[in-house]
A and B are shown apart, each in its own frame.
Chain A
Amino acid sequence: AQSVTQLDSHVSVSEGTPVLLRCNYSSSYSPSLFWYVQHPNKGLQLLLKYTSAATLVKGINGFEAEFKKSETSFHLTKPSAHMSDAAEYFCVVGITGGFKTIFGAGTRLFVKA
Protein backbone atom coordinates (compact mmCIF):
# COMPACT_ATOMS: atom_id res chain seq x y z
CA ALA A 1 0.00 0.00 0.00
CA GLN A 2 1.13 3.50 -0.72
CA SER A 3 1.76 6.12 1.92
CA VAL A 4 3.46 9.48 2.17
CA THR A 5 5.18 11.18 5.09
CA GLN A 6 6.15 14.83 5.27
CA LEU A 7 8.89 15.00 7.83
CA ASP A 8 8.37 18.58 9.00
CA SER A 9 5.08 20.15 9.99
CA HIS A 10 6.66 23.64 9.93
CA VAL A 11 9.72 25.07 8.21
CA SER A 12 10.94 28.61 8.73
CA VAL A 13 13.52 30.28 6.46
CA SER A 14 14.75 33.78 5.82
CA GLU A 15 14.02 35.47 2.54
CA GLY A 16 16.77 34.71 0.03
CA THR A 17 17.89 31.49 1.71
CA PRO A 18 17.32 27.95 0.38
CA VAL A 19 14.13 26.01 1.02
CA LEU A 20 14.02 22.28 1.73
CA LEU A 21 10.70 20.51 2.36
CA ARG A 22 11.11 16.80 2.99
CA CYS A 23 8.87 14.00 1.81
CA ASN A 24 9.23 10.22 2.03
CA TYR A 25 6.93 7.83 0.30
CA SER A 26 6.10 4.16 0.40
CA SER A 27 5.05 2.34 -2.74
CA SER A 28 5.42 -1.13 -4.15
CA TYR A 29 5.71 0.22 -7.66
CA SER A 30 7.20 3.23 -9.36
CA PRO A 31 4.85 5.88 -8.09
CA SER A 32 3.47 9.11 -9.41
CA LEU A 33 4.49 11.85 -7.00
CA PHE A 34 3.29 15.42 -6.80
CA TRP A 35 3.86 18.59 -4.85
CA TYR A 36 0.98 21.01 -4.40
CA VAL A 37 0.95 24.42 -2.75
CA GLN A 38 -1.97 26.00 -0.93
CA HIS A 39 -1.82 29.69 -0.17
CA PRO A 40 -4.08 31.02 2.59
CA ASN A 41 -7.71 31.03 1.51
CA LYS A 42 -6.74 29.80 -1.93
CA GLY A 43 -7.14 26.52 -3.79
CA LEU A 44 -4.46 23.92 -4.43
CA GLN A 45 -1.95 24.59 -7.17
CA LEU A 46 0.24 21.94 -8.75
CA LEU A 47 3.93 22.77 -8.33
CA LEU A 48 5.43 19.77 -10.05
CA LYS A 49 4.96 16.11 -10.85
CA TYR A 50 7.27 13.10 -11.11
CA THR A 51 6.40 10.49 -13.70
CA SER A 52 9.70 8.52 -14.11
CA ALA A 53 10.87 10.46 -17.17
CA ALA A 54 13.56 12.23 -15.13
CA THR A 55 14.61 12.05 -11.49
CA LEU A 56 15.03 15.82 -11.18
CA VAL A 57 11.74 17.55 -11.79
CA LYS A 58 11.46 21.28 -12.31
CA GLY A 59 8.28 23.02 -11.39
CA ILE A 60 6.80 26.46 -11.30
CA ASN A 61 8.12 29.45 -9.33
CA GLY A 62 11.68 28.09 -9.19
CA PHE A 63 10.83 24.93 -7.25
CA GLU A 64 12.27 21.54 -8.07
CA ALA A 65 12.20 18.07 -6.56
CA GLU A 66 14.49 15.08 -6.86
CA PHE A 67 13.16 11.54 -6.89
CA LYS A 68 15.53 9.20 -5.03
CA LYS A 69 14.35 5.63 -5.21
CA SER A 70 17.05 4.30 -2.89
CA GLU A 71 15.93 6.72 -0.18
CA THR A 72 12.22 6.65 -1.12
CA SER A 73 12.30 10.41 -0.99
CA PHE A 74 10.93 13.26 -3.07
CA HIS A 75 12.16 16.41 -1.36
CA LEU A 76 11.13 19.85 -2.62
CA THR A 77 13.75 22.56 -2.90
CA LYS A 78 14.16 26.14 -4.00
CA PRO A 79 17.48 28.00 -4.08
CA SER A 80 16.16 31.28 -2.75
CA ALA A 81 12.96 31.81 -0.79
CA HIS A 82 10.64 34.68 -1.52
CA MET A 83 8.05 36.13 0.81
CA SER A 84 5.34 34.97 -1.57
CA ASP A 85 6.43 31.34 -1.03
CA ALA A 86 4.88 31.35 2.44
CA ALA A 87 2.14 28.73 2.20
CA GLU A 88 1.20 25.14 2.98
CA TYR A 89 2.89 22.50 0.84
CA PHE A 90 1.55 18.99 0.28
CA CYS A 91 3.45 15.97 -0.98
CA VAL A 92 1.10 13.56 -2.74
CA VAL A 93 1.51 9.99 -3.99
CA GLY A 94 -0.68 8.46 -6.65
CA ILE A 95 -2.29 5.12 -5.90
CA THR A 96 -1.11 2.52 -8.39
CA GLY A 97 -3.69 1.36 -10.86
CA GLY A 98 -6.00 4.30 -10.54
CA PHE A 99 -6.25 8.01 -10.27
CA LYS A 100 -6.72 8.30 -6.52
CA THR A 101 -4.04 9.98 -4.44
CA ILE A 102 -2.87 10.11 -0.85
CA PHE A 103 -1.95 13.46 0.65
CA GLY A 104 0.79 14.01 3.16
CA ALA A 105 0.02 15.94 6.30
CA GLY A 106 1.44 19.13 4.87
CA THR A 107 4.36 21.42 5.70
CA ARG A 108 3.75 25.04 6.55
CA LEU A 109 6.53 27.24 5.14
CA PHE A 110 7.23 30.53 6.88
CA VAL A 111 9.47 33.09 5.19
CA LYS A 112 11.02 35.80 7.35
CA ALA A 113 12.04 39.16 5.98
Chain B
Amino acid sequence: AQTVTQSQPEMSVQEAETVTLSCTYDTSESDYYLFWYKQPPSRQMILVIRQEAYKQQNATENRFSVNFQKAAKSFSLKISDSQLGDAAMYFCAYRRHYGGATNKLIFGTGTLLAVQP
Protein backbone atom coordinates (compact mmCIF):
# COMPACT_ATOMS: atom_id res chain seq x y z
CA ALA B 1 0.00 0.00 0.00
CA GLN B 2 1.12 3.51 -0.71
CA THR B 3 1.87 5.92 2.13
CA VAL B 4 2.68 9.62 2.32
CA THR B 5 4.62 11.14 5.21
CA GLN B 6 4.95 14.80 6.15
CA SER B 7 7.31 15.10 9.11
CA GLN B 8 6.86 18.84 9.73
CA PRO B 9 3.58 19.50 11.57
CA GLU B 10 4.23 23.26 11.57
CA MET B 11 6.51 25.67 9.75
CA SER B 12 6.97 29.42 9.89
CA VAL B 13 8.43 31.85 7.37
CA GLN B 14 8.94 35.59 7.17
CA GLU B 15 7.08 37.45 4.47
CA ALA B 16 9.16 37.62 1.24
CA GLU B 17 11.42 34.77 2.39
CA THR B 18 11.63 31.22 1.06
CA VAL B 19 10.40 28.10 2.82
CA THR B 20 10.59 24.40 1.94
CA LEU B 21 8.02 21.82 3.02
CA SER B 22 9.07 18.17 3.08
CA CYS B 23 7.24 15.07 1.92
CA THR B 24 8.29 11.46 1.51
CA TYR B 25 6.24 8.62 0.13
CA ASP B 26 6.38 4.91 -0.31
CA THR B 27 5.21 2.98 -3.35
CA SER B 28 6.19 0.01 -5.45
CA GLU B 29 4.76 1.54 -8.61
CA SER B 30 6.85 3.32 -11.22
CA ASP B 31 4.17 5.60 -12.67
CA TYR B 32 2.22 7.95 -10.44
CA TYR B 33 1.35 11.57 -9.75
CA LEU B 34 2.38 13.66 -6.78
CA PHE B 35 0.55 16.78 -5.65
CA TRP B 36 0.73 19.61 -3.21
CA TYR B 37 -2.62 20.94 -2.04
CA LYS B 38 -3.30 24.04 0.03
CA GLN B 39 -6.16 24.06 2.52
CA PRO B 40 -7.02 27.50 3.95
CA PRO B 41 -9.49 27.94 6.83
CA SER B 42 -12.31 27.81 4.27
CA ARG B 43 -11.47 24.06 4.09
CA GLN B 44 -11.51 23.95 0.29
CA MET B 45 -8.54 22.02 -1.09
CA ILE B 46 -6.73 24.03 -3.74
CA LEU B 47 -4.22 22.40 -6.08
CA VAL B 48 -0.84 24.12 -5.84
CA ILE B 49 1.34 22.01 -8.08
CA ARG B 50 1.47 18.58 -9.71
CA GLN B 51 4.36 16.32 -10.70
CA GLU B 52 4.25 13.28 -12.98
CA ALA B 53 6.70 10.63 -11.86
CA TYR B 54 7.94 9.82 -15.35
CA LYS B 55 9.00 13.42 -15.91
CA GLN B 56 12.47 14.19 -14.61
CA GLN B 57 12.01 17.93 -14.78
CA ASN B 58 10.75 19.49 -11.57
CA ALA B 59 7.37 21.20 -11.85
CA THR B 60 7.12 24.96 -11.34
CA GLU B 61 4.08 27.21 -10.91
CA ASN B 62 5.04 30.85 -10.40
CA ARG B 63 6.44 31.13 -6.85
CA PHE B 64 5.95 27.42 -6.18
CA SER B 65 8.38 24.73 -7.25
CA VAL B 66 9.14 21.16 -6.27
CA ASN B 67 12.24 19.09 -5.74
CA PHE B 68 11.29 15.62 -6.93
CA GLN B 69 13.79 12.89 -6.07
CA LYS B 70 12.28 9.67 -7.41
CA ALA B 71 14.94 7.29 -6.14
CA ALA B 72 14.74 8.78 -2.66
CA LYS B 73 10.92 8.98 -2.87
CA SER B 74 11.06 12.58 -1.80
CA PHE B 75 8.85 15.44 -3.01
CA SER B 76 9.45 18.80 -1.34
CA LEU B 77 7.66 22.08 -2.03
CA LYS B 78 9.53 25.37 -2.17
CA ILE B 79 7.61 28.61 -1.78
CA SER B 80 9.57 31.67 -2.84
CA ASP B 81 8.78 35.26 -1.90
CA SER B 82 6.26 34.08 0.69
CA GLN B 83 3.08 36.12 0.99
CA LEU B 84 0.60 36.45 3.84
CA GLY B 85 -1.97 34.65 1.67
CA ASP B 86 0.25 31.58 1.57
CA ALA B 87 -0.57 30.84 5.21
CA ALA B 88 -2.55 27.59 5.24
CA MET B 89 -2.32 23.86 5.77
CA TYR B 90 -0.37 22.15 3.00
CA PHE B 91 -0.92 18.53 2.08
CA CYS B 92 1.27 16.30 -0.01
CA ALA B 93 -0.68 13.65 -1.94
CA TYR B 94 -0.05 10.62 -4.13
CA ARG B 95 -2.17 9.14 -6.89
CA ARG B 96 -1.43 6.18 -9.08
CA HIS B 97 -1.15 6.96 -12.77
CA TYR B 98 -3.64 4.44 -14.05
CA GLY B 99 -4.88 0.99 -13.37
CA GLY B 100 -7.88 -1.05 -12.46
CA ALA B 101 -8.29 0.43 -9.02
CA THR B 102 -9.80 3.78 -8.24
CA ASN B 103 -7.30 6.58 -8.68
CA LYS B 104 -7.94 7.99 -5.25
CA LEU B 105 -5.64 10.50 -3.63
CA ILE B 106 -3.57 9.40 -0.65
CA PHE B 107 -2.75 12.34 1.58
CA GLY B 108 -0.11 13.04 4.18
CA THR B 109 -0.98 14.52 7.56
CA GLY B 110 -0.22 18.07 6.51
CA THR B 111 2.08 20.95 7.42
CA LEU B 112 0.63 24.13 8.88
CA LEU B 113 2.47 27.10 7.39
CA ALA B 114 2.47 30.44 9.17
CA VAL B 115 3.70 33.57 7.40
CA GLN B 116 5.04 36.32 9.65
CA PRO B 117 4.73 39.95 8.46
Partners in one complex: no
